[in-house]
Amino acid sequence: MSTDPQARILIVEDDDSQAQILESTLTGAGFAIDTIGSGLAAVWKVREGDYDAVLVDYRLPDIDGLATARLLGDLMGQAARPVLIALTATPDELIDRESGAHSAFDVVIGKSGDIASLLAIIARRLAAAPDKATRQAARSSLLLQNWMDYEMAPSRPGAKGDDPGPVRMLIVEDEDDQRNLLTALFEAQGYVVEATGDGLEAVRRIRQDCYDVAIVDYNLPGLDGLAAGNLVRNLIRNAVRPVMIALTATPDLLRDKENAALSVFDEIIAKSSNLAALVATVDRHLKSAPNAATRQAAVCTLPIVKAA
């Protein structure tokens, strides 16, 4: 089967044997192929490169294939992103999950030895996609806007000398009881609190809104806390981003992983019943944060909360 030799495909697969089979097959079919084993790394590679399609494994070690596709859709938009194809041993499971994610993929297909069908699906999807010039124009416009957003002046209340109002917090926690406990705790301190159990939704909100601090659970489904923190660090400059505090039952494990990610969080603390210590940690970081509006918004003396 012959194809346009300019068509570029990124394979996102952490199984070396499977990646080699796909790379050999697609190269033989005339595609230009790159391969990577990380979903989060794939997002940056696609944003920096010019791919016509991305073939994504569902089971990936950092963020799963669905989170990878959702990120690309969020960060690039439909007009600029490449064709997104999921390749998985459990297509029914992924289709069930994807139904709540607004069809992140263009198509979900099961892993099998039917190479002819795979090539036919790729060719058909590429033929129906926006042409390369349209995607490149949309991508250029998107990158320019992203850069302008990254460089923009802080927009938090208080940045221009007006009243900053109460501290605004985002809690990112997928366990209902823990999320409700933290929300009640900080609302009692006078904070304006919002909460979500989804790492990607947290990144979206932080990019669009004005928070002084975000408390992020490490073990989140799909996009874990470290990946979410990495995205915030990469997409939002330090003068604008909120204080990022990781709350986890496995602080040593997260610190080990964070070392390779160049200190994503301002602090990593263990989950415990010592709520007063958590409040004090948040207060300390707010007072020393580099953003003037955040310092103005910090509560100088918070009431001590007794441990549960």
Give the model confidence (pLDDT) of 222-277 as tens digits: 788 888 998 888 888 777 788 999 988 877 776 776 665 557 888 888 888 788 88
Least confident of 40-54, 166-180, 216-230, 279-293: 279-293
The confidence band for 57, taking pLDDT boundaries of 50, 70 and 90, is very high
Q: What's the full length of the chain, in residues? A: 308
| Residue 116 DSSP label | H
Whole-number pLDDT of residue 100: 55
13: which 2 tokens? 């697969």
CATH class of the domain whose range is 8-147: alpha beta
Sign of CA dihedral 186, 164, 228, 87: positive
CATH of domain 157-297: 3.40.50.2300
- Residue 97 is encoded by which pair of tokens? 């999950």
DSSP annotation of 226 reads: H
Q: Give the residue-averaged pLDDT of 153-163.
A: 59
Q: Which two tokens stand for residue 46?
A: 């696609």
Q: What is the reported pTM?
A: 0.70
Residues 207-225 have pLDDT tens digits of 888 888 999 998 888 788 8
Tokens encoding 293: 């509006």
Other beta carbons within 10 angstroms of residue 65's beta carbon come to 30
Q: Is the confidence at residue 282, as pLDDT, over 60?
A: yes
Distance CA 190, CA 168 (A): 9
Q: Where are the domains of the chain?
A: 8-147, 157-297
Q: Provide the mean pLDDT of the chain.
A: 81
Structure confidence at residue 302 (pLDDT): 40
Domains 8-147 and 157-297 equal at CATH topology level:
yes
| Residue 22 CA: distances (Å) to CA of 113, 126, 197, 251 | 11, 17, 35, 38
What is the distance between the terminal CA atoms of the chain, rounded to a whole angstrom? 66
Q: Read off the pLDDT of each residue in 102-122 and give the average, rounded to a whole number.
A: 85
Contact yes or no for 8/30 (Cβ under 8 A): no
Q: Is residue 303 pLDDT above 60, yes or no? A: no
